[in-house]
Structure 1
Amino acid sequence: MSNDVMREAVLTLAGIRRTFRQGGEEIAVLRGVDLTVRPGEIVALLGPSGSGKSTLLHIAGLLERPSDGRIVIGGEDCSRMGDHQRTLVRRNRIGFVYQYHHLLPEFSALENAAMPLRVRGQGRTEAAATAGKLLDQLGLSHRLKHRPARLSGGEQQRVAIARAVVGRPDLLLADEPTGNLDEKTADIVFGELTGLVRGARIGALIATHNLDLARRMDRIVSLHEGLLQAA
């Protein structure tokens, strides 16, 4: 893979391998994964349970180190970074959405959505204004002061999406982002997620079991026996 391609991409994975030891046995989960995600591109990641989708997302998000291979985010090689540098990249360049919203229960919807900006050092008023506009786009302007326990499942996931993109990251990583929602709500929330990502030119890698949602993305790749294949 050329250096020009890596510089242009928001995410490049090259030769990613991940092995685990279970007792005296070595288990290879990822056997040499190559993947490029470009700005504004939404890539669906398919694969059966246990195929390594979450492991691949954790490696791409610098939450887990591979056994071998290169990780380049926004043209910056993160493969040999120390923990502090990896934390800064995650904070400034990557957004995460999970199946379960993982909102902080003691904070309001607005405070949860503004959290990444506050962590970066942005003032409370400015961060709240930015997060408020985003939540308004997601139809939550009347729920800003509500804590997660008072929000529906769809509303909670909208707040989680707002939190993930409020800092305009280069890369969004999502693991079954609508998997905990009913079909109708999942369809609406997924449309809102992809609209925000495309509008901000964020590259996205989204793991899902939902083929209908996968077909609405720009490209589909599938993990099979530790290798990534075009689907």
Structure 2
Amino acid sequence: MSDPLVVPAKADPVSDPVVRLSRVTRSFEQGGVRIDVLRGVDLAVQPGEIVALLGPSGSGKSTMLQAIGLLEGGFGGKIEIAGIDASNLGKDARAAVRRDHIGFVYQFHHLLPDFNAIENVVLPQLITGRERAECETRARDLLTALGLGQRLEHRPSKLSGGEQQRVAVARALANKPRLVLADEPTGNLDEATADTVFAQFLELVRGQGSAALVATHNERLAAAMDRVVRLRDGVLV
């Protein structure tokens, strides 16, 4: 087993949450049977706080992140993002909240295959209306900080798994979101690469003052974060 992660000092959260969940529920119908995945989840994540969301496969971690990320409807309860009650927003308004306040990192990188590393990080910035030169500078700085300064022009197919995930991290942080949601962000990497990528992720997130909620089953990664919450039987414990 590799050595424990070495990460920067933990955040000192302030009072107003970046995300607040109040009695959030989610149920599905399968074969005529109702399945309650989330049974009344309460959570507040403060600015600059990095929270580990632990739970076994199938416990609802991804469903909970989808709720917070406003990626689909069908949820009960109240979801507030950056002080905005997003519980009943329409499609366009939800998209605006995601664009302005949330960054995503998934287990699979989901990079655009026809664009190189720097273009994949530039594109989400262009959507906000920034000038291309400013976007390219931001993308280059992030990718260089992640050790990809010599790989900017490479397409995803020419990058290793760890490099692909670093580009995905840079893309998620490009717009300096208030909140970063990460779903098993190093789950496809070997342990040594996962430790390196995750330490870089934590350093960049803390460096720009974002909050993060990271779904993982890895206790070692969870120990490097500010706080751990566990999803069990549809509620946080």
User: Structure 1 length normalisation: TM-score?
Assistant: 0.94
Determine if the alignment matches structure 1 residue 120 to structure 2 residue 141.
Answer: no
Match of 1:212 among 220, 225, 234: 220
- List aligned pairs for 1:36-185, cutoff 5 A: 36-185=44-193
CA contact (8 A) 2:67 2:75 kept: no
Shift of 1:66: 4.3
| CA distances 1:174-217 after superposition (whole Å, capped 9, x unpaired) | 00000000100000000000111111111100001110000110
1:82 partner amino acid = G
Tell me the percent identity: 58
Which secondary structure does the structure 2 equivalent of 1:222 belong to? strand
Q: Which residue of the partner structure matches residue 33 of structure 1?
A: 41
Q: Deviations over 1:5-61 (max 9, x none)?
A: xx8111101100001111222111000000011111110001111110000000000
Unaligned runs of at least 5 residues, structure 2: 1-14
Instruction: Report the Cα distance in structure 2 between the residues aligned to 1:149 and 1:68, rounded to whole angstroms.
Output: 40
The 3-state SS of whatever aligns with 2:53 is strand
| In structure 1, C-alpha distance between the alignment counterparts of 2:134 and 2:174, rounded to whole Å | 12
Structure 2 distance, partners of 1:40, 1:197, is 8
**Per-residue CA shift, 1:108-162, capped at 9, x if unaligned?**
1000011110111222222111111111111111110110111111111000000
| Mean CA deviation greater in 18-27 or 173-182 | 18-27
Equivalent position of 1:22 in the other structure: 30
Answer whether contact 1:16 1:66 (CA < 8 A) is retained.
Answer: no
Maintained 8 Å contact 2:121/2:170: yes
Note the residue ranges of structure 1 that are not aligned, 5 or more in a row.
1-6
Q: Which amino acid aligns with 1:185?
A: T
Aligned length: 223
Q: Indicate the structure with greater helix content.
A: 1
Q: CA RMSD in A?
A: 1.0
Amino acid aligned to 2:32:
G
Q: Distance in 1 between matches of 2:75 and 2:212?
A: 24
- Could you tell me whether the CA contact under 8 Å between 1:45 and 1:223 is conserved in 2? yes
Q: Which residue of 2 aligns with 1:4?
A: none
Task: Please list the CA deviations of residues 57-115 of structure 1 after superposition, one character each: whole Å capped at 9, or x if unmatched.
Answer: 00000002243111101111111111000001111110000011000010010000111
